Amino acid sequence: CAVVAPQPDRDGERLAVEDWAPPLAPDAWQLQGRTALRVGGDGATASLFWREAPDRYRIDLRGAFGAGAVRVEGEADQVTLRTGDGSVHRAGSARELVRAVTGYDLPVEYLRWWVRARPVPWLGGQVRVGAEGLPQRLEQEGWVVRYEGFTEVGEYRLPQRLEVSREDVLVRLVVRQWELAE
Amino acid sequence: SDPVSTLESYFSEVETLRGEFLQETTDEAGTVIEEAEGTFVIARPQRFRWHYETPYEQLIVADGERLWVYDVDLRQVTVRPLDRVLGVGAAQLLSGEFEALTESFSIVAGEGDWIRLEPTDPAWDFQHVRLLLEDGVPRVVEVRDDIGQSVRMRLSALERNPEVPEARFDFEPPPEADVIEDGASAGEE
C-alpha cells in the first residue's frame, strides 16, 4: 500500500474538534503491529493484534518470544481479559479492567477512535489538521495524540505510527498492516 | 536413544549454538497471526542474542543477568532481571540448564521425536511446551498457552559449539532509544 509521507508538524491548521470534519474511517477493521507502553519509569513492548467490529473488539498483546500473552475481548457492556496462564478477569470497561490487572491507566476506549485518526465523539478538544484533512496532533481530555504518517487502505487513509501521551503515560503504536473486514 | 536422554545430552554437549529461526504464532483457530524471522546465537548458561529481522526489527539479548528487549521501530529498550522474566519461551529454554528445566517442568516423551514439557512451576505462564529433536538438537520449540495461542520457533542452519566472543552478549542501548525498566509484564498481578 502506498505510504503518505509524514507531514511536518508546523503548518497544520488548528481547530476545535467540533469544527473539524475528520476523514472517513472504517468501523470494521483489523490491524497488526507493535506497541510500546510507558508509565513513569516502567513499561513494556508487545506485538499487537487488534480486530474491531461495530459491536465487539479483540486485542491480543504478546511479549518477547510470544510469551506473557494477554487477550482483551469487549462486547456491549462487558470486557474480558485473559492471560497466558489461564486467569480470566472481567469488568464493565476495558480501561477499568486493564488498570485492575496491570496497574496501567490506559484510555482503551479512546484508542479505538484515535487509532483510526478520529476524535472521541463525546469529548471536545483541539486538533491540528495537515494536508488532506489528516490530523497531525489531537488533544482530548488532556491526552495528546501525535500522528507520524498515514497509509492508504482501500479508500481510507489510516495511521501508520502514532503516539498517545498524558503526564507520565506514553503509548507508542507502529501499525504494520491494516485490513478492512468485509 | 530415547528423546528425553537426547535432550539431556543436548544440554550437556551443546555449549553454544548459532543459526536462523522462523517464529510462527497461530491463534486458537489455527490462523497464523504473525510470522517473524531472524538469526540467533546461544551460550550456556542464560546468554543469548535473538535478532528478529522481519516483519519488524527487534533485538533480544540475555547477558546472563538481565534480559534486554530493543524494539527498533518503537525506539524503546525494556530491561528486566532474567530471573523475573515470566515464561520467556524458546530462547530461555534452549539456553538454560537441564537441572533447572526439570525443576520447572515434568519431561515426557511425546509422539515420534517430540518431547512434552508440562510446567510444574505456576510462574511459567504457558501451558504446554513441545520440543522436536533432530540429530541431538531441538529443531522446533512450540509453546502453547491458555488463550489457545501457539508460538512455534523453528531453528535452521545450525552450527553446534561455534566460537562465540563473550562480548556478543553485552548490550549497549543506542542513544536514540528510551531505556525502561520492565516492571510489570502484562498479566502479572
Name residue, grid cell 515464561.
B87
Q: Is the pLDDT of residue B155 over 70?
A: yes
Share of chain A above pLDDT 70, in %: 93
Distance CA B55, CA B58 (A): 9
What number is the average pLDDT over the span B51-57? 95
Cβ separation B126–A71 shorter than 8 A: no
Name residue, grid cell 479492567.
A97
Strands (DSSP E) contained in chain A are: 3-4, 13-16, 29-39, 42-53, 56-62, 70-74, 79-83, 88-91, 126-129, 135-140, 143-147, 150-153, 156-159, 161-166, 169-180
Q: What is the DSSP letter of A115?
A: T
pLDDT-wise least confident of A29-38, A50-59, A93-102 = A93-102
Q: Which residues on A lie below 8 Å from B34 (Cβ)?
A: 32, 47, 49, 62, 66
Cβ separation A49–B76 shorter than 8 A: no
Cβ separation B34–A49 shorter than 8 A: yes
Q: What are phi and psi of B99, to 5 degrees?
A: -60, -45
A64 to chain B, any CB pair closer than 8 A? The answer is yes
Distance CA B62, CA B104 (A): 19
Task: Look at residue B39 in the predicted model and tell me its pLDDT.
Answer: 98
Task: Look at residue B4 in the predicted model and tell me its pLDDT.
Answer: 83
With vertex at residue A164, the alpha carbon angle to CA B151 and CA A76, rounded to the nearest 5 degrees, is 70
CB nearest B87 (choices: A46, A67, A71): A67
Q: In what order do the strands lie in the sheet with A156-159?
A: A3-4, A150-153, A156-159
Cβ separation A172–B74 shorter than 8 A: yes
What is the predicted ipTM? 0.81
Strands (DSSP E) contained in B55-95 are: 58-63, 66-71, 76-81
Distance CA B81, CA B150 (A): 25
B146 to chain A, any CB pair closer than 8 A? The answer is yes
B39 to chain A, any CB pair closer than 8 A? The answer is no
Residues 6+ apart with CB under 8 A from A63: A44, A45, A46, A69, B69, B185, B186
Contact B15, B35 (CB under 8 A): no
A3 to chain B, any CB pair closer than 8 A? The answer is no
Number of H helices, E strands in chain B: 3, 12
Distance CA B84, CA A131 (A): 47
Task: Look at residue A136 in the predicted model and tell me its pLDDT.
Answer: 96
Tell me the pLDDT of chain A averaged across its residues. 90
pLDDT digits (tens, 9 = 90+) for B94-137: 888 898 888 878 888 888 889 998 878 766 656 688 999 888 88
Which comes out higher in pLDDT, residue A3 or A164?
Answer: A164
